[in-house]
């Protein structure tokens, strides 16, 4: 595994734990759809939240959230529709009142704890 991939995977695990500690229910992680992947799909009460996680080792190249471009958000939005079609029509699927896309930005400094920032409703 490349170091970059390991950093991203670690950031996604931290983000999922952060969301679960906030009372969310993680429904899916690293779901692959047509032409892409959703990092985290979770329930925040009756709101289905698709979470894009961006992790960096520092901010020398900008804040991780800056890596979530409009093109990336459009891809996440399309993949969210695929995920909902595949999962919410199933018997026993959770009730969903609303859907939104969030970003969780994770900075892994050389020393100390990870810094996690949750940006809700980016699209």
* Rounded mean pLDDT for each run of 10 residues along the chain, 123 residues in total: 80 97 97 96 97 94 94 97 91 90 95 95 89
Q: If DSSP codes are grouped into helix, strand and coil, which group holds residue 17?
A: helix
pTM for this one? 0.92
Calculated CA dihedral for residues 29, 67, 58, 53, nearest 10 degrees: -10
Q: Which letter does DSSP use for residue 50 in this model? A: E
Q: What is the pLDDT of residue 2?
A: 60
Give residue 19's pLDDT: 98
User: Given this model, what pLDDT does residue 54 score?
Assistant: 96
* Of the options 3.10.310.40, 3.30.300.180, 3.65.10.10, 3.40.1350.10, the CATH number for the domain spanning 3-119: 3.40.1350.10
For residue 93, what pLDDT is reported? 86
User: Which pLDDT does position 92 carry in this prediction?
Assistant: 84
């Amino acid at each position: 595994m490349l170091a970059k991939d390991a950093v991203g995977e670690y950031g996604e695990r931290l983000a999922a734990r952060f969301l679960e500690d906030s009372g969310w229910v993680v429904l899916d992680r690293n779901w692959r759809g047509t032409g892409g992947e959703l990092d985290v799909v979770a329930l925040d009460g009756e709101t289905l939240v698709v979470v894009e996680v961006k992790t960096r080792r520092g901010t020398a190249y900008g804040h991780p959230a800056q890596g979530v471009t409009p093109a990336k958000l459009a891809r996440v939005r399309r993949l969210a529709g695929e995920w909902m079609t595949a999962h919410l029509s199933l018997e026993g699927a959770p009730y969903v009142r609303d859907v939104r896309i969030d970003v969780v930005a994770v900075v892994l400094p050389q020393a100390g704890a990870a810094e996690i920032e949750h940006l809700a409703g980016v699209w």
